[in-house]
Amino acid sequence: MITQTVTIRNKQGFHVRPAQQFSDRAGQYEAQVAVVTEDGRRADGKSMLELMTLGLEAGSVVTIEAAGPGDEEAVRALAELVDGKFGED
Amino acid sequence: MDTLYVQGIGVSEGVRIAPAFIYRRKEAGGAPAPAELPADPEAIRAELSRLGEAKRRCARQLEDLSAKAAETLGEDQAGIVTGQRRLLDDPAFYPKMEAWVQEKRVPAEQAVAGIVEQVAGVFEAMSSDYMKERAADIRDIGGRLLNALAAKEDRGLTAITERVILVADDLAPSDTIQLDPERVMGLITRAGGATSHTAILARSLGIAAVVGAGSAIDGIADGDLIAVDGAAGRCIVRPSEAEAEQSRLRMEEGERERAALARYAARPAVTADGTRVELAANIGTAAEAKAAAAQGAGGVGLFRTEFLFMNAPAMPGEEEQFRAYREAAAAMDGRPVIIRTMDIGGDKALPYLDLPREDNPFLGYRAIRIGLGRQDLLKVQLRAVLRASAFGNVKVMFPMISGLQEWREAKGVLEEAKEELRRSGAAFDEHIEAGIMVEVPSAAVMAGAFAREVDFFSIGTNDLVQYTLAVDRMNDKVAYLYDYFHPAVLQLIRQVIEASHRAGKWTGMCGGMAGDPLAAPLLLGLGLDEWSMEAGRLGVIKKELSTLDREACRSLADSVLTLDTPHAVRQALEEFRRAIGHTL
């Protein structure tokens, strides 16, 4: 399993659009993807619904986990998406 | 039964009278009774296949709706439906229903209702208002799945065949896009506010609407005659004969006005002496630009961009703004589109921009003051506006400017945005015109100094009157003092127009006064260059202008500007209209 810890930095946090972008990107990989919060709540990285319900705001620290084919690339790409503030400003 | 008076929030104007059509989404048989499937793999398989069939039907319905919405309402509205379509494929939604059927051995209905409640409950518990509202989307799609399972089509609003006033608790997003404005004359909802989805849609479809009517709607029965006044937010249920007659007259008057508009829409705005006048429309969304063009607008004099921000879950990024501005510019096909930077604060809050409550919001942190306080946000907007300027005749305008320093700072941010785009090689109009709204009296007083630096002025009469006369027109006790015919306001307007002309610049007007036919001869006489109003007013003003002679209006303006009370001004204007053969 590959993991990487990232900080949400776009101002609006994990709102609808970021959740959609994240789940879309995660869906491109065969690997299972999860997002885990600091207090241990988990969301399926391919589910926009679960990602939104984590209620992540700017400054939240989360761990992206992936296991299976393409896991390394998946984690790298998703961490980049978060670090790049989902293309916001 | 007695007449019932219902007061709600008027969100889309117009007077309409028609029988009530009570609409509540039929949740196929309500919540299903708990049941357990036989422990037979065949029964489970059969249940899963029912569920799968329901999902496919739902998906088809949503795809149809979305195609229809894209056609009639623009991409924004269609987005709501595509969002629901997407939900159906979410791994945390439908697969969980399948899992319930398999593991808990419950009928499909129970699995749907259970998961929908679970997910909607999570959203409702969230702190953001926007997220709380997503629960409605989840329930909307849950209702669809249940209906599909019961093998019945939704009792669609498209089934309405007569003219009705629609009465509902609230309308789900997928309901509103089925509204046919030919039949749904008006609507009343229990819930909702001025910026709700229902309100915005009603306005763009021209359906008179009152929302937030609360429990009062329980007193309405199917078929009751209802008169809706969408401007006042008032409904009369089971009106007396006299009240019904009055509403009918007002409805017919509105219809005549719309018909007159249609006749004048296609003609250019020309005065009796042959002077061309720039008539433009005020819009709030890119989709309205198309409608305004169809109604004969010669451009957009005011694009209120704040709706783009108010209807979004989060601050729209540069791309999203760019697309909206480009769409408006393209719809106007070379005619000018004046984009006003966001005018938020005051009575317009943004859920995701944490603005503290203020005791005196209209004198507080709003409009350009926020723009200059948060230059990061302003610059994103200006970059989007600049990029759109490559696709049409775009101009930019700053709201609430009270002094030259603010204008210079805002212009500085605009220049920075240009420089950034130049560096990245993005196309934009290097000579884009930049102007200011004149709505604070200090800007009007300093018009001479501003005119040396700005490309144009646009007078926002609503705020200019409120600030000049110190009157809150929403306050019933003092609203009588609110009058754009007050001589002090007229002096300011003249001063602004003259200052711009002396510097070779031009002045427009985008407040309510520009759409008032009584004001038209005066404004023409004062030399106003551009008039911008709700698209629905264009026909009336075009018609008025076609009867006016510019020289006669100049003398009228000269004499009116010597008068000392609003009353005397009105009298003089009415007399002028009578003299040229108009009746009010």
Give the burial string for B411-420 (b: 16+ CB within 10 Å, else e): bebbeebbee
Section A65-71 average pLDDT:
93
pLDDT value at residue B584: 46
pLDDT value at residue B26: 45
Angle ∠(B420,B422,B424) on CA atoms, nearest 5: 70
What does pLDDT average to over chain A? 89
> Alpha-carbon distance B16 to B247, whole Å?
7
Torsion of CA A65, A70, A75, A78, to 10 degrees: -120
A41 touches chain B (CB under 8 A): no
Confirm if A43 and A35 have CB atoms less than 8 A apart: yes
> Alpha-carbon distance B161 to B249, whole Å?
23
Overall number of domains in chain A: 1
Alpha helices in B25-179 (DSSP H): 41-73, 75-88, 94-104, 108-124, 129-149, 173-176
Question: What is chain B's Cα-based Rg?
Answer: 27
Confirm if B372 and B313 have CB atoms less than 8 A apart: no
A25 touches chain B (CB under 8 A): no
Q: Could you give the domains of chain B?
A: 4-25+156-255 (3.50.30.10), 41-149 (1.10.274.10), 268-579 (3.20.20.60)
Cβ contact B92–A50 (<8 Å): yes
CB-count exposure of residue B273 (10 Å: 0-12, 13-18, 19+): exposed
Which residue from B minimizes the CA distance to A13?
Answer: B314
Angle ∠(B354,B355,B360) on CA atoms, nearest 5: 165
> Do strands B184-189 and B164-168 pair parallel, antiparallel, or not at all (unpaired)?
parallel
The yes-or-no verdict on residue A27 having pLDDT over 80 is yes
Task: Count Cα atoms within 13 angstroms, Cβ side, for B200.
Answer: 20
> Do strands B4-7 and B225-229 pair parallel, antiparallel, or not at all (unpaired)?
unpaired
CA-based diameter of chain B, in Å? 93
What DSSP letter does each residue of B477-527 carry, written as one string?
TTGGG--TT-HHHHHHHHHHHHHHHHTT-EEEE-SGGGG-TTTHHHHHHHT
In the A/B pair of chains, how many CB contacts fall below 8 A?
54
pLDDT value at residue B428: 96
Nearest CA to B192 out of B217, B163, B170 is that of: B170
CA-based end-to-end distance of chain B:
38
Mutate to test the interface with B, among A8, A10, A11, A12 (most CBs of B within 10 A): A12
- Convert the pLDDT of each residue in B525-577 to its tens digit: 999 999 999 887 888 899 899 999 999 999 999 999 999 999 999 999 999 99
Confirm if B19 and B165 have CB atoms less than 8 A apart: yes
Q: What are the structure tokens assigned to B115, written together? A: 């998961």
Nearest CA to B52 out of B98, B109, B116 is that of: B98
Provide ipTM, 2 decimals: 0.85
Q: What are the structure tokens assigned to A18, written together? A: 């970021």
Task: Count Cα atoms within 13 angstroms, Cβ side, for B547.
Answer: 18
> Alpha-carbon distance B540 to B519, whole Å?
12
Section A47-71 average pLDDT:
90
Residue with the larger pLDDT of the pair A84 and B205 = A84
pLDDT value at residue B34: 63
pLDDT value at residue B95: 92
A57 touches chain B (CB under 8 A): no
Which residue from B minimizes the CA distance to A86?
Answer: B317
Cβ contact A49–B93 (<8 Å): yes
pLDDT value at residue B20: 92
Which residue from A minimizes the CA distance to B316?
Answer: A88
Which residue from B minimizes the CA distance to A18?
Answer: B314
A88 touches chain B (CB under 8 A): yes
Nearest CA to B552 out of B571, B575, B533 is that of: B575
Nearest CA to B350 out of B307, B287, B397, B410 is that of: B307
Q: Which helix (H) or strand (E) holds B358?
A: none
pLDDT value at residue B24: 66
Section A9-30 average pLDDT:
86
pLDDT value at residue B251: 92
Q: What is the DSSP letter of B276?
A: B
CATH number of the CATH domain containing A71: 3.30.1340.10
Confirm if B120 and B92 have CB atoms less than 8 A apart: no
The neighbouring-strand residues paired with A34 are A44, A65
CA distance A40 to chain B (A): 17
Cβ contact A49–B380 (<8 Å): no
Residues 6+ apart with CB under 8 A from A22: A14, A35, A45, A48, A51, A78, A81, A82, A86
**Residue B118 CB coordination number (10 Å):** 13
Residues 6+ apart with CB under 8 A from B3: B236, B237, B238, B239, B240, B243
> Alpha-carbon distance B27 to B42, whole Å?
28
Cβ contact B352–A17 (<8 Å): no
CA-based end-to-end distance of chain A:
32
Nearest CA to B26 out of B118, B136, B144, B171 is that of: B144
Cβ contact A53–B126 (<8 Å): yes
Mutate to test the interface with A, among B82, B84, B90 (most CBs of A within 10 A): B90
Q: What are the structure tokens assigned to B416, written together? A: 């920075």
- Domain span at residue A27 reads 2-87
Residues 6+ apart with CB under 8 A from B559: B572
Residue ranges of E strands in A22-74: 32-37, 42-44, 61-67
Confirm if B555 and B525 have CB atoms less than 8 A apart: yes
Residues 6+ apart with CB under 8 A from B575: none
Q: Per-residue pLDDT for chain B (584 aa), expressed as one digit of tens each?
A: 789 999 998 888 899 999 999 886 544 444 556 677 777 888 888 889 889 988 988 888 888 777 777 666 666 566 667 778 888 989 889 999 999 999 888 889 999 999 999 999 988 888 777 777 788 888 888 988 888 887 655 556 766 888 999 998 888 766 766 677 788 999 999 887 765 667 767 876 778 999 989 888 888 988 899 999 998 899 999 999 999 999 999 999 988 877 776 777 778 888 999 989 999 999 888 878 887 888 889 999 999 998 788 767 778 889 999 999 999 999 999 999 999 999 988 767 777 777 888 888 889 999 999 999 999 999 999 999 999 999 999 999 999 999 999 999 999 999 999 999 999 999 999 999 999 999 999 999 999 999 999 999 999 998 999 999 999 877 778 888 999 999 999 999 999 999 999 999 999 999 889 988 999 999 999 999 999 998 878 888 998 999 999 999 999 999 999 999 999 999 999 999 988 876 54
CA distances (Å), origin B478, targets B439, B469, B569: 20, 11, 20
Question: 3-class SS at B434?
Answer: strand
